[in-house]
Amino acid sequence: MNTKRALVLISSFFKRVKHFFINLNEVSVFSIWTAAIMLAAVLIWGLSTGLRNEITVKTVNKFLASIGESRSVEQVISSWRLPGSVTQLGTWYTMTSSENAVIFPLINEGIFSPCLAIIDDEGRLSTLVPLTVNGDRILSRINPGYLRIWMDRIEKNASILKRTQDKRS
């Protein structure tokens, strides 16, 4: 009788081990597929940075030309050598004039509007251009204190960017 019970216990143990390895196999296949998809997404995102920046520059320049602005965005400023606080605000660009510009997201009442802030040579915000159709409406309805906070952040980061660029030259 004890041998029969032992055989049942051993059989039960091997069934559980077999079930464990089947589940482990399924989980590992799922994990490998997830890792492969994530790796592909990261590679595509990283390798398409230049293309995305070029498309952004062309789109912003078309928009600036349509509103009658004579200045245009030239190229992206590489974020690899910039302090983290500067890159957290948005993407920085050089302009055809000696000015810099930053494209940053502005959200008010659930409406997203990317904006272009043009910074003059002294590091002050000279022009704020909404880049969407709803942008003018958002800027007119936004809390002035909230807008002032954004302007202060832009000017602070512009001065950091200017100091960084001056150190390199």
Q: How far apart are the first and last CA of the chain?
A: 90
Contacts 24+ apart (CB under 8 A), 135-142: 135/106, 137/111, 138/106, 138/108, 138/109, 138/111, 138/113, 139/106, 139/115, 141/108, 141/109, 142/106, 142/108
Q: What is the pLDDT of residues 18-44, one digit of tens each?
A: 777 777 778 888 889 999 999 999 999
pLDDT bracket for residue 1 (50, 70, 90)? low
79: amino acid identity, one letter: S
pLDDT at 88 over 80: no
pLDDT of residue 38: 97
> Could you tell me the residue ranges of all domains in the chain?
1-47, 62-168
